Amino acid sequence: TKDVLILGIETSCDETAAAVVKNGKEMLSNVVASQIESHKRFGGVVPEIASRHHVEVMTLVVEEALEKANVTMEEIDAIAVTEGPGLVGALLVGVNAAKALAFAFQKPLVNVHHIAGHIYANAFVKPLQFPLLSLVVSGGHTELVYMPEDGVFEVIGETRDDAAGEAYDKVARILSLPYPGGPHIDRMAANGEDTYKLPRVWLEEDSYDFSFSGLKSAVINLSHNMAQRGEEIQPENLAASFQASVVEVLVGKTKRAVEELGVKQLVLAGGVAANRGLRQAIEDTFVDNEQLDVVIPPLSLCTDNAAMIAAAGTVLYQQGKRGKMDMNAHPNLDL
Ligand code: KG4
Ligand code: ZN
């Protein structure tokens, strides 16, 4: 059979990304232009600045992705683009670029959900096996997603307030660490110990939902109370205590879902999947489970990129799913 070449485009947040992927698993190129430096001084992503940066570099990023893959637009089978969720102005830049290319080169469009992309990042490691469970943890999402088969997604649990990455970034701010704070907390936690008593929020016994805002408030209260008493907080230990609480709940709920649903494969996904504490805990928890295949994506594929969008797009393309030429950006799109 003929090879399938998909051009992926991703602009949902603060990375402008394009990639060329062959047969849904071979990365011919993966170009990511990060805007982190432009947002750092504001302590978070500023939507208006994000859109403007995407517009400035979108064309260059696509050209570079094609060039690095040594592929022309004529050879591409379809263009896969993130239609949501994300910042509407940011998403629109990628969607419009994809539509323009689809129109100019007469190529089909495939609309991809950002979280589907994060999950399919694991297809670069090894073939996905179903039924599958994915723990999706990013700056905007914390979800347990059950997949009975390729291209079918059931969200069995999600956060009721802050996403895990959001909690990391907020706690990092309390510790005066630069944006995005997740990687800094991760590094500090490695040199600290779980000495501060922070809550584990499990919600109802049978729920797969998460809640991290209470944990964030507990960290704020703790640091205020200690400051009032004139005591100094030990930042490494606070980072380690916070991380221990997040990881314990994430892994605990994942373990229960793995057992109750009897899945064949567990895959980690999203920016927080880069977290060393979480990766280690997942490995340790399931090392003895011989029925379960555990996939943890390489660090470069955890955070936002377009190769993952092209990989998910390949499956949808092969299933005959197409985006319309009048497709729009959907900031609150459901999986
Ligand atoms: O998936 P992603 O790149 O963008 C979204 O779709 O949100 O995730 C970004 C999030 C940020 O909150 C960042 O702080 C977090 O992932 N993150 C980490 C680590 N690396 C990135 N959080 C904890 N530990 C890390 N090593
Ligand atoms: Zn993401």
Q: Measured from the CA of 163, which atom of ligand 1 is nearest?
A: 12
Chain segment 152-206, per-residue pLDDT in tens: 999 999 999 999 999 999 999 999 999 899 999 999 999 999 999 999 999 999 9
Instruction: Say if CB 171 and CB 179 are below 8 A apart.
Output: no
Chain segment 219-234, per-residue pLDDT in tens: 999 999 999 999 999 9
- Whether pLDDT at 1 is above 80: no
Chain segment 102-125, per-residue pLDDT in tens: 999 999 999 999 999 999 999 999
CB neighbour class for 52 (10 Å; exposed up to 12, middle 13-18, buried from 19): middle
Residue 20 is predicted with a pLDDT of 98
Ligand 1 mutation target, pool 138, 216, 247, 278, most atoms within 8 A of CB: 138
Chain segment 17-60, per-residue pLDDT in tens: 999 999 999 999 999 998 888 788 788 888 888 889 888 999 99
Please write down the HEC assignment for all residues of 270-308. Answer: CHHHHCHHHHHHHHHHHCCCCCCEEECCCHHHHCCCCHH
Chain segment 126-145, per-residue pLDDT in tens: 999 999 999 999 999 999 99
Structural domains for the chain:
5-120+302-318 (3.30.420.40), 127-296 (3.30.420.40)
Residue 101 is predicted with a pLDDT of 98
Pick from 310, 333, 263, 317: nearest CA to 117: 310
Q: Measured from the CA of 140, which atom of ligand 1 is nearest?
A: 7
Residue 8 is predicted with a pLDDT of 98
Whole-angstrom Cα Rg for the chain: 20
Cα of 333 to ligand 2 centre, how many Å?
14
Determine the Cα angle at 148 with ends 147 and 149, to 5°: 90
The mean pLDDT of 303-320, rounded to a whole number, is: 97
| pLDDT tier, 333 (very low <50, low <70, confident <90, very high otherwise) | very high
Cα of 85 to ligand 2 centre, how many Å?
9
Q: Which residues contact 204 (CB under 8 A, 6 or more apart)?
A: none
Q: Where are the alpha helices (DSSP H) in the chain?
A: 36-40, 47-69, 88-105, 114-120, 164-174, 182-190, 213-228, 235-261, 276-286, 299-302, 307-318
Residues with CB under 6 A from ligand 1: 13, 138-140, 165, 168-169, 180-183, 186, 270-272, 274-275, 303-304
Query: 157: helix, coil or strand?
Result: strand
Residue 19 is predicted with a pLDDT of 98
Q: Pick the ligand that lies closest to the CA of residue 138.
A: 1
Q: Which residues contact 154 (CB under 8 A, 6 or more apart)?
A: 145, 146, 147, 148
Annotated binding-site members? 114, 118, 136-140, 169, 182, 186, 275, 304
Cα of 203 to ligand 2 centre, how many Å?
25
- Whether pLDDT at 217 is above 90: yes
Residue 18 is predicted with a pLDDT of 98
Q: Which residues contact 313 (CB under 8 A, 6 or more apart)?
A: 6, 8, 78, 80, 81, 110, 112
Query: 86: helix, coil or strand?
Result: coil
Residue 122 is predicted with a pLDDT of 98
Residue 14 is predicted with a pLDDT of 87
Instruction: Say if CB 50 and CB 39 are below 8 A apart.
Output: yes
Ligand 1 mutation target, pool 14, 34, 39, 303, most atoms within 8 A of CB: 303
